[in-house]
Structure formats: structure tokens, C-alpha cells
């Protein structure tokens, strides 16, 4: 018997993703079996069958023979099986199980693309580079996220106008969204594996990369013990540095670095941002210049004989006996004198 068209169904989205993933490089165990399936059945013949409409799952989930006899799905199959032109097609999204079977060189990139699919839209809606303050960016983002939620919940126009001010929870959600957006650039960097080992990075419950360290058991806030890592070239990093610099009253680089975040090459980035701060440059001022040295004093440059201005007593008085005379000499500076024959001297 010859078949004009072949249809194959599976209720496993993971297996269907493995079969259709021609551009992916799976691990050897999955790749070998996927190659065998592709040789036997073309990829376009594979379709997805929802688990609730799969007749094979009816007896495997536990049922009696009488119930199985009355089960319409078991006896006739799904309704769309009669007319195969109405085969349900669902978009196959790579799950975490699929990502685990990817090779190391593709797993990180695929994971970042999947986890940031919603963040790319946020970056397209709100341009971070057009904001000069972090608070204003977070407030605008919070309003945008609230507007999206209102559209999803189909709330009327009257209720949309009566919206109140953004809450602290909405500000925190907007901040988390922007941190995820900034870290997407961090993950795609070639040096990310080195940073991961150097800073001991790990993912928290919000999928944010935080730095490890030895302060885990310290009685300090979470942001201090494990700060969030930020890239150095993202506009959000500049806004974070500006906000921290204004909070400490335009202090120096060392004080500005003590924030809730850890920036790659932070000292260099902070120095660049602070160099454009007018208030900081006015407070800091120029470095103090060394004054010009005065002229040397006259006694250091005038050519005079020794002991002209200074007299030094080496020793004395000294008694010297020469040719029947005893001479007393007090050798000290320019003071010199001689006396006659003292008592007890002899004549020759």
C-alpha cells in the first residue's frame, strides 16, 4: 500500500522541538536519535497532538474496561483526525529541557534570547538614553507596564483615567525589568564566563545575576552582600551612577562606588561619569600647585673662607711644648692667643 501523505503526531513538545531543530547542535545522545528519525520520516510530517486529545494517554492514566469501552476519544480519536487539513499547529517554544540538551556554545545564547524576549520590547518602547535621571525612567516604565496590564485586562476607559500614582511595588518591577534588559548585554559578552568565575555570579529568584562573596552570613541587606552586576557600556549603568553620586552629595569616586550594584570596571566608568558633573568639578577643583621656590640665602651662595660666620670649638686649651716654650692655644673659630712660660716650665 502506498501513502500519498504521511502524518506523525507526538504529544511531547520537547521531542518535536528536537526533531525540528535543524539549526541547533544537540548533545550526542539526542543528536544521534534525531538523525535516525529524520532519515525515516521527513521533518514536515511531524505535528503536535495536545495531551488531552491523545488517545494513547487514556489507558495509561488508569481506567476500567467498561469506561474504556464508553470513551469516545479512545474509540474514534480526536475530532480533527477525520479531516487532517484541520490539524492543530502550535508554536514550539524551547523549554528548559531543550536547553539542557544544547551544547555549551549554544546554551547560553539560546537561554538569553528566550528569557529576554519580553525585554527587547521594553527597550523598543522606552528609550533609556533619552532620560537623565533614574527615577524618571523607572516611573515612566512603571506607567507603561501598568498601561499594558490595563489593556490585557480590558478595563474601560473611565477606570484608565482614574489610575493613581505608581506604587513602590511597580517601581521595583520596572527596576527589575531594566536590570534584566541591561544584563542581556552582559550575558552576550565574550568575557562573561570569566566574569562568572571571578565574581562568583549566580541567578536569584528574579533571574538577576548577583555577585557572590564572603559576606553571605553577614547581618547586611541583600543588595550589600550580593550586589547585582551591571555592564559598563549600558545607559542604565550611567543613570545608576548619577543617582548614587547625587545621593552622596557629589562626593568622590570612592564614595560613589558604594552603591547597591557592582559595575564591571566600575572605577573607570565612575571616573568618566563624574568628569562630566559640573557640581563635582566645581567642588573638587583643580589640584593644588606647588609654589615657586624662593631664592637661596646669601650665605649659601657667597664665596667666603671657612669660619667667616661660624666658629666651632674643637677642643682646648691645648698645651704644646716646643723649644723651651709652652704655648697655650685655644683653637676655636677665629679666637687664638699665646701666653708666656707657665708655672713649672723649665728653661734650656
pLDDT in tens, 30-42: 888 888 888 888 8
pLDDT digits (tens, 9 = 90+) for 228-249: 999 988 889 999 999 988 888 8
User: 113 or 285: whose pLDDT is higher?
Assistant: 285
pLDDT digits (tens, 9 = 90+) for 112-126: 434 444 454 577 788
Write down the pLDDT at residue 101. 59
How far is it, in rounded angstroms, from Cα 120 to Cα 112? 11
pLDDT digits (tens, 9 = 90+) for 122-175: 777 888 888 989 999 999 999 988 888 887 775 544 454 456 788 888 998 899
How far is it, in rounded angstroms, from Cα 152 to Cα 172? 21
How far is it, in rounded angstroms, from Cα 224 to Cα 127? 29
Residue 10 pLDDT level (bands cut at 50, 70, 90): confident
* Residue 211 predicted with pLDDT over 80: yes
How many residues comprise the chain? 348
Classify burial at 66, counting beta carbons within 10 Å of its beta carbon; exposed 0-12, middle 13-18, buried 19 or more.
exposed
Whether the upstream peptide bond of residue 317 has omega within 30° of 0, thus cis, is yes
> Which is it for strands 228-230 and 261-263: parallel, antiparallel or unpaired?
parallel
**How far apart, in Å, are the Cα atoms of 183 and each of 55, 117, 119, 176, 192?**
45, 13, 11, 10, 10
How far is it, in rounded angstroms, from Cα 203 to Cα 209? 5
* Three-state DSSP class for residue 302: coil
As a whole-number percent, the residues of the chain with pLDDT over 90 amount to 7
E strands in the chain: 8-10, 46-48, 202-203, 209-210, 228-230, 261-263, 313-322, 325-332
Which of 264, 278, 192 lies closest to 232, judged by CA? 264
pLDDT digits (tens, 9 = 90+) for 314-335: 666 667 777 665 555 554 444 4
Amino acid at each position: 500500500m502506498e501513502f500519498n501523505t504521511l502524518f506523525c503526531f507526538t504529544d511531547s513538545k520537547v521531542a518535536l522541538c528536537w526533531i525540528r531543530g535543524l539549526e541547533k547542535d544537540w548533545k550526542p545522545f539526542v543528536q544521534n536519535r534525531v538523525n535516525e528519525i529524520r532519515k525515516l520520516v521527513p521533518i514536515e510530517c511531524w505535528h503536535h497532538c495536545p495531551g488531552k486529545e491523545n488517545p494513547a494517554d487514556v489507558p495509561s492514566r488508569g481506567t476500567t474496561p467498561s469506561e474504556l469501552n464508553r470513551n469516545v476519544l479512545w474509540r474514534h480519536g480526536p475530532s480533527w483526525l477525520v479531516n487532517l487539513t484541520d490539524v492543530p499547529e502550535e508554536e514550539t517554544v524551547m523549554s528548559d529541557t531543550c536547553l539542557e540538551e544544547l551544547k555549551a556554545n549554544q546554551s547560553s545564547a539560546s537561554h538569553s534570547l528566550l528569557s529576554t524576549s519580553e525585554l527587547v520590547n521594553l527597550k523598543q518602547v522606552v528609550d533609556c538614553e533619552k532620560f537623565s535621571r533614574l527615577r524618571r525612567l523607572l516611573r515612566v516604565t512603571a506607567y507603561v507596564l501598568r498601561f499594558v496590564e490595563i489593556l490585557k485586562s480590558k478595563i474601560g476607559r473611565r477606570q484608565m483615567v482614574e489610575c493613581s500614582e505608581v506604587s513602590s511595588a511597580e517601581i521595583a518591577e520596572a527596576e527589575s525589568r531594566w536590570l534584566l534588559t541591561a544584563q542581556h548585554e552582559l550575558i552576550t559578552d565574550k568575557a562573561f564566563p570569566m566574569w562568572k568565575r571571578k565574581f562568583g555570579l549566580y541567578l536569584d529568584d528574579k533571574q538577576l545575576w548577583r555577585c557572590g562573596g564572603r559576606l553571605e552570613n553577614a547581618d547586611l541587606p541583600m543588595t550589600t552582600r550580593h550586589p547585582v552586576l551591571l555592564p559598563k557600556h549600558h545607559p542604565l549603568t550611567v543613570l545608576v551612577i548619577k543617582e548614587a553620586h547625587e545621593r552622596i552629595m557629589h562626593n568622590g569616586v570612592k564614595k560613589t562606588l558604594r552603591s547597591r550594584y557592582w559595575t564591571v570596571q566600575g572605577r573607570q566608568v565612575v571616573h568618566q561619569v563624574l568628569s562630566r558633573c559640573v557640581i563635582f568639578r566645581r567642588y573638587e577643583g583643580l589640584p593644588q600647585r606647588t609654589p615657586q621656590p624662593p631664592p637661596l640665602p646669601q650665605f649659601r651662595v657667597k664665596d667666603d673662607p671657612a669660619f667667616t660666620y661660624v666658629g666651632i670649638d674643637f677642643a682646648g686649651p691645648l698645651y704644646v711644648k716646643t723649644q723651651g716654650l709652652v704655648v697655650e692655644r685655644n683653637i676655636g673659630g677665629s679666637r687664638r692667643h699665646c701666653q708666656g712660660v707657665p708655672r713649672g716650665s723649665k728653661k734650656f
